[in-house]
């Protein structure tokens, strides 16, 4: 065998799918402290468009969205494998809807296909969180229908944040709270005197769920960007340089390891 062939074989082993990464993944998994894993992990899957420009320059940006959706599907499986209870996937913000119709229409199609594929597993509970009234009627109806099929599933709970923004969520929560209290005959001065934090939390899109313990953001961005701004008050953050479609299982395990090694103070 020639020297160049030896080098090629070595480089092949260094690829994410090679023996080196497989061994490293197994080692990370074996040494995870299962008693310190998060219950709820949320992900800000950034970098799909940049990935498309770098890896599919002759194609439309939908190639990046499709690659990103496939990785979200992998991510959900990884979370289930380690026994996480709740996963939140942020796939679209209201600001994203301002993009051209040529871009947003196929993106919405990719999102619907992702949600339907998660629902078709028949084991996970899939919940759509976000301002669905901002979406085309056909898209919103398809998302609601897919979610409804999973209502009685007992497996991991998956929130898919579509047309989601934290400020929109708080606005909707206050509207819902005010309407509920008005129906009871509560006056505004009375509500102002009696409103408590738990009353607001009960009207969030994620009402009844524990807040995310860990929020992962990819592509090197290090900001909250109006994501889960109420629920993330005491969340731990993990930032990864990889563009989302390049995010690997080993990156996920590193995030879990980092979380398990932290001392959580919850503001104390």
Q: What is the pLDDT of residue 268?
A: 67
Q: What is the pLDDT of residue 210?
A: 97
Q: CA-to-CA distance for 59 and 88, rounded, in angstroms?
A: 29
pTM (two decimals): 0.89
Catalytic annotation, pick one of 55, 96, 153, 226: 96
Q: What is the pLDDT of residue 8?
A: 40
Q: CA-to-CA distance for 82 and 259, rounded, in angstroms?
A: 14
Per residue in 15-29, pLDDT tens? 555 677 778 888 887
The answer, yes or no, to whether residue 9 has pLDDT greater than 50, is: no
pLDDT band, very low/low/confident/very high, at 10 (cuts 50, 70, 90): very low
Residue with tokens 């594929």: 117
The answer, yes or no, to whether residue 179 has pLDDT greater than 80, is: yes
Average of per-residue pLDDT across 218-240? 96
Q: Which helix (H) or strand (E) segment is 100 a member of? A: none
Q: What is the pLDDT of residue 7?
A: 35
Whether 153 is a known active-site residue: answer no
Q: What is the pLDDT of residue 17?
A: 54
Report DSSP state, residue 223.
S
**Angle at which helices 19-30 and 3-14 pack, to 10 degrees?**
30
- Give the rounded percent of residues in the chain with a pLDDT score beyond 70: 93
The answer, yes or no, to whether residue 253 has pLDDT greater than 80, is: yes
Q: What is the pLDDT of residue 27?
A: 83
The answer, yes or no, to whether residue 169 has pLDDT greater than 90, is: yes
- Give the rounded percent of residues in the chain with a pLDDT score beyond 90: 82
Q: CA-to-CA distance for 35 and 147, rounded, in angstroms?
A: 31
β-strand 86-90 against 40-44: which pairing, if any?
parallel
Coil/strand/helix, residue 159: strand
Coil/strand/helix, residue 125: strand
The answer, yes or no, to whether residue 4 has pLDDT greater than 60, is: no
Coil/strand/helix, residue 134: helix
Per residue in 125-166, pLDDT tens? 999 999 999 999 999 999 999 999 999 999 999 999 999 999
Catalytic annotation, pick one of 46, 211, 246, 251: 46
Higher pLDDT, 54 or 3: 54
Question: Cα dihedral sign for 177, 179, 183, 186?
Answer: positive
Contact 257, 27 (CB under 8 A): no
Whether 95 is a known active-site residue: answer no
Q: What CATH superfamily is the domain 38-164+205-261?
A: Decaprenyl diphosphate synthase-like (3.40.1180.10)
């Amino acid at each position: 065998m020639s020297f160049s062939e030896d080098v090629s074989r070595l480089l092949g082993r260094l690829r994410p799918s090679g023996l080196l990464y497989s061994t490293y993944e197994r080692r990370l998994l074996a040494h995870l402290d299962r008693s310190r894993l998060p219950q709820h992990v949320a992900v800000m899957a950034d970098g799909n468009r940049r990935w498309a420009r770098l890896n599919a320059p002759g194609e439309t940006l939908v190639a990046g969205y499709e690659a990103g959706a496939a990785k979200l599907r992998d991510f959900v499986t990884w979370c289930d494998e380690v026994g996480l209870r709740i996963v939140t996937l942020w796939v679209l913000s209201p600001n994203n809807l301002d993009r051209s119709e040529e871009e947003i229409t196929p993106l919405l199609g990719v999102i619907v296909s992702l949600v339907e594929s998660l629902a078709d597993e028949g084991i996970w509970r899939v919940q759509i969180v976000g301002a669905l009234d901002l979406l085309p009627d056909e898209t919103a109806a398809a998302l609601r229908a897919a979610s409804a099929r999973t209502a009685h599933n007992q497996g991991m709970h998956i929130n898919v944040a579509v047309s989601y923004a934290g400020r929109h969520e708080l606005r909707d929560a206050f509207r819902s709270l005010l309407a509920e209290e008005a129906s009871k005959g509560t006056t505004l001065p009375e509500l102002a005197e009696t409103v408590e934090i738990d009353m607001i939390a009960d009207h969030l899109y994620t009402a009844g769920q524990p807040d995310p313990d860990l929020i992962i953001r990819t592509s090197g961005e290090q900001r909250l960007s109006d994501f889960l701004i109420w629920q993330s008050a005491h969340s731990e953050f993990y930032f990864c340089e990889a563009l989302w479609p390049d995010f690997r299982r080993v990156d996920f395990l590193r995030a879990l390891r980092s979380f398990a090694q932290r001392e959580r103070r919850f503001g104390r």
